Structure 1
Amino acid sequence: MILLIADLHLEQERPDISRAFLQFLEGRARGAEALYILGDFFEVWVGDDAISPFQRSIAQALRALSDSGTPIFLMHGNRDFLLGEDFCREAGCSLLPDPSLVTFNGERVLLMHGDSLCTQDIDYMRLRRILRHPLTLWLLRHLPLAARHKLARKLRMRSRDHTPRKASHITDVHPDEVPRVMATHGVRTLIHGHTHRPAVHPLQVNGQPARRIVLGDWHHQGWALQVDENGCVLAPFPFPNQE
């Protein structure tokens, strides 16, 4: 059994989400063949050198799962693209490039966070190109911590102010970009997060049947995609009751 999740947006202000995630690690994920986290794991990440006690507790929980024998793979999202190797070493996980090719049940599958597919959102794509440029990443990691926190707050406010004003098709993936990317990588299954619109979409790639699986966000409930010998099941589950 392989599990894939995305868009938890973990932060200390949402203990219900972190509680659900810790229960997920201690229960369903224990004994899994692998756990893939496809971006926006944290609501914000300003650098491995700025890890908070809350974030360290999450790293320790991941390490416990990794030490139990379940490999963990972590991909950057648009909120936590500064996650680095120091965090991964502490958490016992491996950093995945976006996109990544994997093999599930003998089939090549493409994994992405999903934000790079939203090419109709011109403003966001321009900002993404700037922020993900190697020189920008180097500069961001070497800014004083206070400056990084200030920039992170500014970017979060920008997202919260602008995203609700955009038409839904602007913030979703471009219908032409998906088959293009899948054809480029020679796959018939794409799994991604980012859009917070969980679903399994059938489509055609080079005249062949294909599918795009969108992982759900963990705002009101948890979501996980389970892959095993019987196929794929994408399903939500309720957060545990607060005690």
Structure 2
Amino acid sequence: MSAFTYFISDLHLCAERPDISQCLFTFLQEQAVHAEALYVLGDLFEAWIGDDDLSEFNLSIADAFKTLADSGVKIYFIHGNRDFLVRNQFAQRAGFTLLPEQIVVDLYGTPTLLMHGDELCTRDVVYQKFRRKARGWWWPRLVLALPLSTRRRIAASGRKTSKKNHAKLTMDIMDVTPEDVIKAMEAHKVTRLIHGHTHRPAIHPLNINGQAAERIVLGDWYDQGSILKVSTEKRELINYKFHPLA
């Protein structure tokens, strides 16, 4: 069997959705264990309020990933818009290697740009303004200095506000801006981009300066596990069914 690598994003894990976390556990134990590497491209959690939130649920997620890492599978993590406060403490507990927001990796001979993808949704002006603040140096420090209980209340309020704002946005605004996709790929000199965030799994053929290229979008995990498998021969988007909870 040829070597292969998995990519996932937008699981939005939370204690209120045990079906999603159970699907993840099954995937890690039965499928990911056979891979060379697993890349988590952001929004692993519905909301991450700090590495000091050592809830039983959060620890169970960390332990599941650490078991996979200890088996020899390399696990890489890129921050998303829901979990940009993940720091080294959780990464070490989970066996993650933290990556920058954009990185080019050699994926079986093809230089491939990886990112969460929210930076490409430039038509959502309000969100991009928040993103610049949230990714700055002072705002995360300020938030993490607050008591854990206060951060929980802020996160809960933020999720409600986010749902209301999304209801008002058109699908075009919430999707990537095509011109910015091309700019990013040209800047990094790649013909393949993999990202999540938009919850619209697909493989989009592109043409960049007369050269064939592609943008691969990962899906969310609200109704099934959405996984990208890339090997030396092919790349495929896979739906991993939820198993009934005991």
Q: TM-score, normalised by structure 1?
A: 0.98
Question: Corresponding residue for 1:106?
Answer: 109
Pick aligned residue for 2:126 from 123, 128, 144:
123
SS of the equivalent of 1:47 reads: coil
Other-structure match for 1:180: 183
Rounded to whole Å, the distance in 1 between the matches of 2:53 and 2:26 is: 26
In 1, Cα distance between the equivalents of 2:19 and 2:150? 29
Task: Say if 2:85 is the partner of 1:44.
Answer: no
For 1:14, the equivalent position in structure 2 comes to: 17
1:146 deviates by: 2.2
2:99: which partner in 1? 96
Please give the alpha-carbon distance, in whole angstroms, between the structure 2 residues aligned to 1:184 and 1:53: 42
Structure 2 unaligned blocks of 5 or more: none
8 A Cα contact 1:215 1:225, kept in partner: yes
Query: Are the equivalent residues in 2 in contact too, given 1:31–1:69 (CA < 8 A)?
Result: no
3-state secondary structure, aligned to 2:46: coil
Q: Does 1:139 align with 2:156?
A: no
1:76 to 71, 74, 79: 79
Distance in 2 separating the partners of 1:26 and 1:208: 39
Quick check: 203-212 or 17-26, which moved more? Answer: 203-212
CA–CA separation in structure 2 for the residues paired with 1:146 and 1:206: 52
Q: Which runs of 5+ in 1 are unaligned?
A: none
Q: 1:206 Cα shift?
A: 2.2
Cα distance in 2 for residues equivalent to 1:237 and 1:143: 38
Q: Which moved more, 1:46-55 or 1:211-220?
A: 46-55
- Identify the range of structure 1 (232-241 vs 165-174) with the bigger mean alpha-carbon deviation: 232-241
* Partner SS, residue 34 of structure 2: coil
CA deviation profile, 1:55-113 (whole Å, cap 9, x unmatched): 10110011100000001111111011101100011111111111111111111100010
1:179: how far off? 0.4
Give the 3-state SS of the residue equivalent to 2:90 in structure 1: helix
Q: Secondary structure at the match of 2:214?
A: strand
Moved runs in structure 1, 4+ residues, more than 6 A? none
User: Which shows bigger deviation, 187-196 or 147-156?
Assistant: 147-156
1-structure distance, mates of 2:151, 2:157 = 10
Q: Which amino acid aligns with 1:98?
A: E
Letter in 2 for 1:181: A
| Structure 2 CA distance for aligned equivalents of residues 28 and 52 of structure 1 | 26
In the other structure, the counterpart of 1:53 is 56
Partner Cα separation in structure 2 for residue 185 and residue 69 of structure 1: 30
Q: Distance in 2 between matches of 1:85 and 1:31?
A: 26
Q: Sequence identity, in percent?
A: 47
CA distances 1:9-40 after superposition (whole Å, capped 9, x unpaired) = 00010000000000000000012100000000
Task: Work out the CA distance in 1 between the residues paired with 2:24 and 2:53.
Answer: 22
TM-score calculated relative to the size of structure 2: 0.97
Q: Which structure 2 residues correspond to residues 92-241 of structure 1 after superposition, within 5 A?
A: 92-241=95-244
Two-structure CA RMSD over aligned residues (Å): 0.9
CA–CA separation in structure 2 for the residues paired with 1:107 and 1:64: 29
Size of the aligned set, in residue pairs, is 243
User: Once the 2 structures are TM-superposed, how far is the Cα of residue 209 of structure 1 from its aligned partner?
Assistant: 1.1
